[in-house]
Every structure is written in C-alpha cells, then in structure tokens.
C-alpha cells in the first residue's frame, strides 16, 4: 500500500460562512462550521485520529 502525503480530511468552502470537512476517502462532506478556522481544527483532529487508527 502506498502512503499518501495528502490528508484524508480537508476543508471545503460551500458559500459565505459555510465550511465543511470533506472526507476524501468516502467523498462525503460533514461537520458544518461557520469559520474556516473551526473547520480546520475539526479536520486536523480527524486526521490525527485516522493516523492513530492506521498505526495500530
């Protein structure tokens, strides 16, 4: 299996004041946020959780 340098969870803008965390593996947007910073915090947390799961 190849290691991807791209994070699985990324932030997408869906309109003014509407940001979502997009899962690149399942192609689903979740976790709506009003600010990019809040969405980025969620994406960072989800990426860290995913890395922990993969290293088990």
Segment 6-51, tens digit of pLDDT: 899 999 999 999 999 999 999 999 999 999 999 999 999 999 999 8
pLDDT of residue 1: 45
pLDDT of residue 3: 57
Q: How confident is the model at residue 54 (pLDDT cuts 50, 70, 90)?
A: confident
b/e per residue 18-49 (b: at least 16 CB within 10 A): ebbbbbeeeeeeebebeeeeebbebbeebeee
pLDDT of residue 45: 96
Please report where in the chains the tokens 């990426």 appear, as a residue.
Answer: 47
pLDDT of residue 5: 78
């Amino acid at each position: 299996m190849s290691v991807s340098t791209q994070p699985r969870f990324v932030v997408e803008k869906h309109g003014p004041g509407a940001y979502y965390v997009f899962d690149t593996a399942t192609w689903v947007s979740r976790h709506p946020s009003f600010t990019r910073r809040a969405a980025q915090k969620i994406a960072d947390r989800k990426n860290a959780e995913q890395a922990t799961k993969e290293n088990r």
